[in-house]
Structure 1
Amino acid sequence: MLIYSSSEAEDSNDHNVPTTKLFGRERSVHSLLGGGHVANLLLWRNKSLSAAILLGITMIWFLFEVVEYNFVSLICHISILVMLIVFLTYTAAKFANWDLPDIHEITIQESVFRWLYRKVNWVLLRFYEISSGENFIEFFLVIGSLWMISVLGSYFSSLNLLFFCFICLGTLPVLYEQYEREVDRLIRKGSKDAKKVLKKFDSKVLNKIPRGPVKDKKRK
Structure 2
Amino acid sequence: MADRSEDSLMEKIAQKIHEHNSSSSDSDDEKPKSSDPSIKSKIYRLFGREKPVHQVLGGGKPADLFLWREKKASAAVLVVATAIWVLFELMEYHLLTLVCHCVILSLAFLFVWSNASSFINKSPPHIPQVIVPEDLAVNIALSLRFEINRLLATLREIASGRDLKKFLVVITGLWVVSILGSCCNFLTLFYIVLALLHVVPIVYEKYEDKIDSFGEKAVREFKKQYAVFDAKVLSKIPKGPLKDKKN
TM class by shorter-chain length? 0.5 to 0.7
Provide Cα deviations, 1:113-133, integer angstroms capped at 9, x if missing partner: 989976984685366235413
Does residue 150 (structure 1) correspond to residue 174 (structure 2)? The answer is: no
Task: Tell me: CA distance 1:193–1:84, structure 2 relative to 1, closer, same or farther (3 Å).
Answer: farther
Provide the residue aligned with 1:65 in structure 2: 89
Does residue 47 (structure 1) correspond to residue 71 (structure 2)? The answer is: yes
| Aligned residues of 1:19 and 1:185 also touching (Cα < 8 A) | no
Task: Tell me: CA distance 1:183–1:130, structure 2 relative to 1, closer, same or farther (3 Å).
Answer: farther
Provide the residue aligned with 1:132 in structure 2: 157
Give aligned-pair identity as a percent.
33
Larger RCO: 1 or 2 (CA < 8 Å, sep 6+): 1
Task: Tell me: CA distance 1:122–1:166, structure 2 relative to 1, closer, same or farther (3 Å).
Answer: same
Please state how far the C-alpha of 1:152 moved relative to its aligned partner. 2.1
Matched residue count: 177
Provide Cα deviations, 1:157-198, integer angstroms capped at 9, x if missing partner: 222212111111222222222222222111110011122334
Does residue 181 (structure 1) correspond to residue 206 (structure 2)? The answer is: no
Contiguous gaps of at least 5 residues in structure 2: 1-39, 111-127, 129-134, 237-241
Q: Quick one: distance in 2 between partners of 1:171 and 1:120?
A: 31
Normalised to the residue count of structure 2, the TM-score between the two structures is 0.57
Q: Which of 1 and 2 has greater Rg?
A: 2
Q: Quick one: distance in 1 between partners of 2:140 and 2:61?
A: 9
Normalised to the residue count of structure 1, the TM-score between the two structures is 0.63
Provide the residue aligned with 1:8 in structure 2: none
| Aligned residues of 1:30 and 1:39 also touching (Cα < 8 A) | yes
| Aligned residues of 1:61 and 1:163 also touching (Cα < 8 A) | yes
Contiguous gaps of at least 5 residues in structure 1: 1-15, 87-102, 104-109, 210-214
| Cα RMSD, aligned residues only | 3.9
